[in-house]
Amino acid sequence: MIDLYTWHTPNGRKVSIMLEEIGMDYKVFPINIAKDEQFQPHFLKISPNNRIPAIIDKDNNNYSLFESGAILMYLAEKSGKLINKSNSDEYFRTMEWLMWQMGGVGPMFGQVHHFVKYNKGKSAYAEERYSKEARRLYGVMDKRLSQSQYIAGKDYSIVDISIWPWTARFDWQEIDLNEFPNVARWYKEMIDRPAVQKGWLVPQNDQLIPTI
């Protein structure tokens, strides 16, 4: 059993989708970041950076872990799913693109949300800078997806799970996914997955998955 401390953000949804994909039992503990619940002492014990998501593995001596990328890797190795450790090239391609998401897509798209969605008009420089970088990253993704069905290669993996929730905010980013046809194809395939649909609703929320 996994205790999942999360909220309905792109990073939080990565882990709930992953847990649904691998069919692992989990219990949800909502951390409402709009109410600063991420600063509560009990949460800081497992997530010292006061960020969701975080997990406690009850079946592994209450082993706790924070940072969404690390959690995806842990759950993949624990379940033996959505990562191929038997093929070194596939494994490192997965790591390569996972790090691309953690170092690029997450931080940059997050800045677009901050300046374009929530603080529009406060800094034209920031809006232009981060929107331009987001479009560049969509271009990188589009080129990659013209070469393979999924982002890390021919197989669905933790990479797709890590990136999709950020692309599901394309409306916040004022991005037309039809300008990136390979991303649009992949995006539509992702939203057809039952685990993606279920994971999106964790914790319980009334947000709809944006459609193209």
Report the distance separating Cα 80 and Cα 139, nearest Å.
Answer: 31
**120-149 per-position pLDDT tens digit:** 999 999 999 999 999 999 999 999 999 999
Per domain, the residue ranges of the chain are 2-82, 88-193
Measured between alpha carbons, how far is residue 171 from residues 78, 112, 203, 212 in Å? Answer: 35, 11, 21, 10
As a CATH number, domain 88-193 is 1.20.1050.10
Q: In the 3-class helix/strand/coil scheme, how is 122-150 assigned residue by residue?
A: CCHHHHHHHHHHHHHHHHHHHHHHCCCCC
Banded model confidence at residue 95, pLDDT cuts 50, 70, 90: very high
List, in order, residues 6 or more apart from 165 with CB less than 8 Å away.
9, 10, 11, 13, 14, 17, 200
Report the distance separating Cα 1 and Cα 166, nearest Å.
Answer: 27
Report the distance separating Cα 42 and Cα 11, nearest Å.
Answer: 20
Best CA proximity match to 13, nearest among 200, 190, 171: 200
Residue 84 pLDDT? 92
Report the distance separating Cα 194 and Cα 20, nearest Å.
Answer: 8
Indicate the Cα dihedral angle 136, 141, 147, 149, nearest 10°.
-160
**80-94 per-position pLDDT tens digit:** 999 998 899 999 999
Residue 130 pLDDT? 97
**170-209 per-position pLDDT tens digit:** 999 999 999 999 999 999 999 999 999 999 999 999 999 9
Report whether 98 contacts 158 (CB < 8 A). yes
Residue 186 pLDDT? 98
The domain 2-82 belongs to what CATH superfamily? Glutaredoxin (3.40.30.10)
pTM given for the model: 0.96
Residue 159 pLDDT? 98
Report whether 71 contacts 19 (CB < 8 A). no
Strands (E), 52-143: 54-57, 63-66
Residue 144 pLDDT? 98
**156-181 per-position pLDDT tens digit:** 999 999 999 999 999 999 999 999 99
